[in-house]
Amino acid sequence: METHLQQLLNFYEDNISNSKLFIKEKVYALICLLLMILLFFTIILGHHGFKYYVVITILAIITFISFVCLIYRIEGRLGHFKGLTFKQKVSKCVLFVADTKFLMTLNDLKSLRDEKVIRLRQHFQEKGFYNEEHLKVFMDVLEKEYQNRFNISRLSVLISILIPLCTYYIQTVFNFRDAKINITNSGHIFMLNFIFIEIAVIMCCFYFITSCVLSSLKSTFLLVYSVRKYEVLDLTSLIRELYLECYIEEKQKKEVLIIKGFVKKE
């Protein structure tokens, strides 16, 4: 027999997870994934030159267009293009790609979030759990579930990716095989300090770029395949929004009842 938590998680996975809502957009999502990965490794591992920059520019344009097409399909699936011309639809999609930073914040997209909230509210109402007390319990249980099972440091994942990339880049840019460095020479010491500063800057840039790319890849991947860890996070966020909504509604009802209690009946 399934517990209420398992039923809720199964409902999310079968009805409001990104991979189920946009099951017909999986091909577009896969294309975006492949293009993003190709662009990332071309930027990191490519050899600088005129052809390199031409390839990067072409890949970047194609990747951007593919994300616009994906957003176009998503918005069309949600039915938010009614009454708009094709030009207005494309402009809206371009803005969405920019606003979501290549889908990094896809779950914060208003149209998508509204759709999920509506479906989840209906589910709780059908089950008789749409009240402040029950929503608070579900929210607390999901938060503990995430902390106990899925709370893995993101920094450790990034470091495991960054170390080999930075090592490769440093070996490519700085060739120390034939270098003869004298630590008593002030010029050599200055050069070493400059190299260490440059390495630190490069690693910071790598960290920022890799973090953004991974976030975008994660959101796009969730359109293809659902992952329980991110389902729990998104579901907790949605329930938190419903809890606040329910709390305000119940508080307003109590205030109305209190006011009516002091009104004299004619």
Share of the chain above pLDDT 70, in %: 79
Determine, yes or no, domain membership for 55: yes
Mean pLDDT, to the nearest integer, of 26-46? 88
Determine, yes or no, domain membership for 157: yes
pLDDT of the residue at 177: 53
Determine, yes or no, domain membership for 266: no
Determine, yes or no, domain membership for 138: yes
pLDDT of the residue at 242: 93
Q: What domain count does the chain have?
A: 1
Enclosing domain of residue 55: 4-261
Q: In whole angstroms, what is the distance from residue 2 CA to residue 13 CA?
A: 15
Determine, yes or no, domain membership for 140: yes
Own/partner contacts of 207-213, CB < 8 Å, gap of 24 or more, are: 207/158, 207/162, 209/40, 209/43, 210/158, 210/161, 210/162, 210/165, 211/158, 212/101, 212/102, 212/104, 213/36, 213/40
Per-residue pLDDT reduced to its tens digit, 91-124: 888 888 887 778 888 887 788 888 899 999 999 9
Determine, yes or no, domain membership for 163: yes
Give the predicted TM-score (pTM) of the model: 0.73
Mean pLDDT, to the nearest integer, of 32-61? 86
108, amino acid identity: D
Q: Is the dihedral of CA 108, 110, 115, 119 positive or negative?
A: positive
**Which of 218, 9, 183, 199 is closest to 102 using CA atoms?**
218
